[in-house]
Amino acid sequence: MSQNPENPFKTYFDQTLERCGFDEDLKAGILFFLGESIIAANTNQLMNMFTEEEKIQQEFRRLFTLYATPNADINPLEALDTAPIKQIIYTYNEIYVNSIRNKSFDFDKVINDNLKSEFKLDFIEEFKNKQYKLVTNHNLNTSFFKQIGSYLNQFELSYEDIYLTGINYYQTNQKIDFEGINVLNLNIIDSFSPLYTTLFHYPLLYTYYPANLNANHLFSSILQFLYLHTNTDIAKHIHAFHNHIFYENNPRKVRKGWEFEELERGILISQTFHNALNIRKSPIFGTRADFLASDNYLLNELKDQNIPLENFKALMTKTIEEYYEADIDEVVAGKLNHAEFLQLLAIIFYETSANTMIVKGWKN
C-alpha cells in the first residue's frame, strides 16, 4: 500500500482522470489496467532506450512504482477473488481478436489454464457483429474498464490499492504464464482508441519526456495518436497544421479561443471544423501532392473533385456521424464525457483537414 502523500505523478494522473470527466468505475478500471499492463506496455520503448539489462530492470521498477509503491506486508490482491477479472480479460481478447478483427486465433493453445476462463456471455453479446473501427474499439475499451472498475469498487479500495492490485495481478500471473499474460495484455493495448492510448503513455512521457507532456494539451495528444493510426502518409503535415492553428511559440501555449473546458460544445465543434477547412489557406497546402498520393481516406471519391462547400460540410457531418457513430446534437447535449468529446474534436479536425486537401476546389 502506498502511503506517500507527495506523489507528483499520482496527483497529475488523478487530476487528468478527473478532468476527463470519467466516473468512478471507469477511473478504477483504468488504474487497475495501468498497473497490470505497465510492463507489457513499455517493454519495447525501454529496450530501445537502454541497452544494459540492469538499467532496463531499474527503469521498469521506476515506472511501476510511479503511481504507487508496493508494500511487502500488504497485498490488496490477496483479499480478492480474481476469477471475475480473469474472465473479463479473457473474454475481451476473444471479442477483439476473433469477433471484431475476424481472426481465428485459438487462445486455448497458447494460454495456460490458470489464465483461461468461461466467456462472459453478456460482454460478447454487447459487441456481436460489430465492425473493426475506432468507435468499436473505444466502446470495447470503455466497457472493459467499467466492468473491471465496477467489480473492484465493491471492495472500497483506494486508488493506490486499485493500481497495486493490477501490479500484483500481473506479477502473480506472469510467474505462471509469462507469454500468455503478455499476449492477453498486448491485444488489449493494441485495441486502444487514441484517447486511451494517450492516457496509457503518460507514465513514459511523464518520466522521460516531461517537456513534451507539459507542452501538449490532451486534445493534441489524442490527435497525434489518431492520425498515426489512421494515415501515416500525411501525419507530419496534419501535425504541422495542427501546431500552426492551435499553438503560439515562445513559450509554447494554446492560442486564445481554444478554451476546451470553458466554451460550449457547439461552438468548439464549429470552430474546429472551420479552422480545419483553412488548411487550404495555410502553408501546408503546398504539400497537397502528398495527400493526393495516398488513398487512405474515408471519402476517397472526393479526390481531385470540385464540390460545393455546403455539400462538403454536409458530407463530412454525415460521414463522422455514421462512421464514428457520433450524433452531433447528442454530443452537444452532453452524451460524451469531456475526454471523449476531445477525441471527437480530434476526429473532426483530422477528417476535415485530410479530406479538404484532396478536393480540387469549391464549386459556386
| % of the chain surpassing 70 pLDDT | 96
Q: What pLDDT is recorded for position 1?
A: 40
d(CA 220, CA 247): 10
Cα 142–chain centre separation: 10
Question: Distance between CA atoms of 120 and 129, rounded to whole angstroms?
Answer: 16
Q: What is the pLDDT of residue 65?
A: 92
Q: Over the stretch 252-271, which tens digit does the pLDDT of each residue have?
A: 777 877 788 888 999 999 99
Q: Could you read off the pLDDT of 215-243 as tens digits, one per residue?
A: 788 999 999 999 877 778 899 999 999 98
Return d(Cα 103, Cα 94) in angstroms, integer: 10
The model carries a pTM of 0.93
Angle between helices 83-93 and 178-190 (to 10 degrees): 60
Quote the pLDDT of residue 84.
97
From its phi and psi, is residue 129 left (phi > 0), alpha (psi between -120 and 50) or beta? Answer: left
Q: Quick one: pLDDT at residue 2?
A: 41
